[in-house]
Amino acid sequence: MRKMKKLIAVVLMAVLTLACAVPTMACTPPLKPPHIDIPEIEVKIDDKLQAGIDAAAKKFIEKNVLSKPVINNVTYIQKTTRYGTYRCLSASWNKVDNATSYEVEVTKSDGTQKTYKTSYAVLVKSNYADEFLDDGMDGATVKVKAYGVDETFSLWSDEVDVDQYNF
């Protein structure tokens, strides 16, 4: 008798499962995305525009004469005391010959950026003077570009991750 009840329960479950699944499959239409032909686009550059592009490329090559800076280290220190929290970002890189100034770009992990200009091969900023450092530097990167006399410049250095120390 118990075996019969179990058998009937299993059969009813199977019938109920099929009754719920079959109408769903029967009502779902097949997916047929539309086919779109994209025409090929040809771009023709006139002579004046081509001459302008060539002149800009030549000027870039003539002005890009400084060597690329190499970042030595980038450190972010955060120290919390009972009087407040002190945060400091410091970066150093090799001095580029004939460079008169440097541009340092700090990019946080959320994509926000801040650019600093300095005439030294080092940058030190604290949260007391710069609110950009208040939210921390988790996943931040730094890169440096050198500038010289007569509008000469270098390429951007390789991006370096910021080392963090919390005390």
Asked if residue 27 is part of any domain, the answer here is no
Tens of pLDDT, residue by residue over 63-109, are 888 899 999 999 999 998 888 889 999 999 999 999 999 999 999 99
Tens of pLDDT, residue by residue over 118-148, are 999 999 999 888 888 888 888 899 999 999 9
- Worst-scoring range by mean pLDDT, 14-18, 31-35, 75-79, 86-90? 14-18
Asked if residue 110 is part of any domain, the answer here is yes
Three-state SS letters, 45-77: CCHHHHHHHHHHHHHHHHHCCCCCCCEEEEEEE
Q: What is the pLDDT of residue 25?
A: 57
Q: How many CB atoms lie within 10 A of CB 99?
A: 20
The CATH number of the domain where 139 resides is what? Answer: 2.60.40.10
Overall domain count for the chain: 1
Asked if residue 22 is part of any domain, the answer here is no
Asked if residue 21 is part of any domain, the answer here is no
- Quote the domain boundaries for residue 161: 62-166
Asked if residue 149 is part of any domain, the answer here is yes
How many separate helices (H) and strands (E) can be counted in the chain? 2, 8
What is the DSSP pairing of strand 163-166 with strand 71-81? parallel
- Max Cα-Cα span within the chain: 101
